[in-house]
Amino acid sequence: MSDEKKYDLIGLGSCTMDSIYEVKDVMRMEMIDRDNTDKKYIAIEHSSKLNVSAVEFHPGGSAANIACDLARIGFKTAYIGGIGNDGNGKSCMEDMEQRGVDLSGIKIFEHDLTANSVILITPWGRDRSILAYKGANNLFGPEHVDESMLKSTRCFVWTSLTSEKGIEAISKCIDLAKSTGALIAGAPSISIIKNSADAARNLLKRCDITSLNDEEIEALTGESDVLKAMNTLFDWGLKEVNVTFGKEGQWISDGKDLIKTKPPKVFPRDTTGAGDATMAGIIYGTLRNKSLHERARIAASLSAMEIEEEGVRVGTPKTWDELQHFMDIHEIKQETLSL
């Protein structure tokens, strides 16, 4: 890390208590939409009471996850955002602090609760549906941003805040971080794309790198062809674009070369947080000046370790050496294409 910067990364976005419910007494419905798209739905019989097989609670949230993932493998990170003055907020802060994340930029709010996500784990393995309550996340505004922190980071990453105040806070942070030459990383989830699509596009146009899944990049660009969608983001000014396809792996490109990476073989238990781990890996590789191939390997490995355990941050490595060992013993297939 440069002596001139206090932080390797500062993240602004969601910090959430994830409530994970394993339910078996549900139905899965598959339908074909008018555009011939296959849609899958979780169905619960009306006015029914379902038994829950298991319950777990884990601190999560996309920006908080990225800060935690990178802190564990050697980066100095900070999380900024809104948390409620409640038990969930205390647990979230304790978890981040134990993982080495700086919390001095957090704002604690008295008049709303810490964000909460109800995650349904079904009998179909990777399938999960999420009910997300943003709570205090969306109360964080530009007036709560510590300007000195943002001017002292090598990278700023933003994830989904859907309120007007939250979007203004992200915009201010981008301006502050850019003023000192920081790398700007954007990870907009489908929630901000659906609720504030124009804002998500405008914010992303001011970023250097991004990691999205195939649904998100199509919703952002309107392009169903992934290569065309990636080229749209390069036209917007991004320098590095990563797209994930679940079990099919990921594509990363700098606009010149495209690296297709197949994920290492693991048994997935819970895919929550996989995209955050991928983003963390891309940021790590970029700040460490790794090749595109290495960035993709790091990202794919962090994501694979994440999904092996239920709950976010549970399976991720505690040290860089642990991550390196995982990469050494797992085959990660890659293909290089010139654009």
Name the percent of the chain lying above pLDDT 70.
97
Which of the residue ranges 149-158, 165-174, 272-281 would you say has the lowest mean pLDDT? 272-281
Closest to 2 (Cα-Cα) out of 171, 152, 175, 158: 152
CA atoms within 13 A on the CB side of 99: 30
**Residue partners of 93: CB distance under 8 A and separation at least 6:** 83, 103, 106
Instruction: Judge whether residue 3 has pLDDT over 80.
Output: no
Domain that holds residue 282: 9-25+53-338
DSSP 8-state class, residue 256: S
**Residue partners of 255: CB distance under 8 A and separation at least 6:** 231, 234, 239, 241, 339
C-alpha pair distances (Å), 135 with each of 16, 196, 242: 9, 17, 29
Q: What is the mean pLDDT of residues 6-13?
A: 97
* DSSP states along 131-148: EEE-GGGGG--GGG--HH
pLDDT band at residue 295, thresholds of 50, 70 and 90?
very high
Residue 123 lies in a domain: yes
Instruction: Judge whether residue 32 has pLDDT over 90.
Output: no
Q: What is the mean pLDDT of residues 48-67?
A: 91
C-alpha to C-alpha distance for 116 and 119, rounded to whole angstroms? 10
Question: 26 or 335: whose pLDDT is higher?
Answer: 335
Task: Report pLDDT for 23.
Answer: 86
Q: What is the mean pLDDT of residues 319-333?
A: 95
Task: Report pLDDT for 291.
Answer: 95
Residue 277 lies in a domain: yes
pLDDT band at residue 318, thresholds of 50, 70 and 90?
very high
Q: What is the mean pLDDT of residues 18-40?
A: 82
Interval 234-275: pLDDT, tens: 999 999 999 999 889 999 999 999 999 999 998 887 787 899
Residue 136 lies in a domain: yes
Task: Report pLDDT for 128.
Answer: 67
Question: If you average pLDDT over every residue of the chain, what do you get?
Answer: 92
Please list the residues that pair with 78 across neighbouring strands.
10, 102
Q: What is the mean pLDDT of residues 85-110?
A: 96
Could you tell me if 10 and 64 are in contact, meaning their C-beta atoms sit under 8 angstroms apart? no
Closest to 103 (Cα-Cα) out of 113, 114, 111, 95: 95
Residue 37 lies in a domain: no
Q: Are strands 334-338 and 257-261 parallel, antiparallel or unpaired?
A: antiparallel
Q: Mapping DSSP to helix (H, G, I), strand (E, B) and coil, where does residue 38 land? A: strand
Task: Report pLDDT for 89.
Answer: 96
C-alpha to C-alpha distance for 245 and 268, rounded to whole angstroms? 14
C-alpha to C-alpha distance for 64 and 316, rounded to whole angstroms? 14
Task: Report pLDDT for 305.
Answer: 93
Residue 45 lies in a domain: no
C-alpha pair distances (Å), 219 with each of 61, 192, 277: 21, 11, 22
Could you tell me if 229 and 214 are in contact, meaning their C-beta atoms sit under 8 angstroms apart? no
Q: What is the mean pLDDT of residues 1-16?
A: 86
Residue 47 lies in a domain: no
pLDDT band at residue 50, thresholds of 50, 70 and 90?
confident
C-alpha to C-alpha distance for 197 and 189, rounded to whole angstroms? 11
Q: What is the mean pLDDT of residues 46-56?
A: 87
DSSP 8-state class, residue 246: G
Residue 183 lies in a domain: yes
Please list the residues that pair with 102 across neighbouring strands.
78
Q: What is the CATH number of the domain that holds 205?
A: 3.40.1190.20
Q: What is the mean pLDDT of residues 60-75?
A: 96
Residue 31 lies in a domain: no
Instruction: Give phi and psi for 177, each to the nearest 5.
Output: -65, -40
pLDDT band at residue 125, thresholds of 50, 70 and 90?
low
Task: Report pLDDT for 1.
Answer: 46
Task: Report pLDDT for 126.
Answer: 53
Instruction: Judge whether residue 189 has pLDDT over 90.
Output: no
C-alpha to C-alpha distance for 256 and 259, rounded to whole angstroms? 10
Beta strands in 77-221 (DSSP E): 77-84, 106-109, 115-121, 128-133, 155-159, 183-187, 209-213
Instruction: Judge whether residue 137 has pLDDT over 90.
Output: yes
pLDDT band at residue 127, thresholds of 50, 70 and 90?
low
- State the total domains in the chain: 1
C-alpha to C-alpha distance for 281 and 26, rounded to whole angstroms? 35
Task: Report pLDDT for 333.
Answer: 95
C-alpha pair distances (Å), 86 with each of 106, 107, 110: 14, 13, 8
Task: Report pLDDT for 46.
Answer: 84
Residue 203: enclosing H or E segment and its boundaries?
A: helix 197-204
